[in-house]
Amino acid sequence: MEFIVTIKALIVVLLGIIYLMASIQLIMNGQRGISAIFLRYSSVIPSSDITEEDYVFAAVTIFLHIACVIMILIIFILVVVVIVFVCYFGIGFVRILLFWRYDDK
């Protein structure tokens, strides 16, 4: 069971990385933000065509995509840890961890 959960988690991580890479590639090809910045450094378009908004758009878009991937990874890692605890140690162990302050004497 733990092996299946690990494989599923690795697939989700891989999909998150692919999503991030595809998003950046789409921004580079379709939107003006990133593509304008990279084309400026390769001297394809003059630097006067690039505005401050292009830099802000590029930075914010990349930051949001990276933040989304990190949040998805954290959520799935927490879910995998809980599933491993429940499957490996049993529900009794999890109940002890959650309610260790409330002893029924």
What's the pTM? 0.41
pLDDT tens, residue order, the chain (105 aa): 667 777 787 787 777 777 766 666 666 655 544 455 555 555 555 555 667 777 777 777 777 777 777 887 788 788 777 777 777 766 666 666 666 665 555
Distance of CA 41 to the CA centre of its chain: 28
Token pair 């998805």 is found at: 72
Burial 13-24 (b: 16+ CB within 10 A, else e): eeebeeebeebb
Domain range summary for the chain, segments of one domain joined by + = 2-98
Structure tokens at 49: 């065509």
Report which secondary-structure segment, H or E, holds 80. Answer: helix 52-84
CA 100 to centroid of chain Cα atoms: 33
DSSP 8-state assignment for residue 51? -
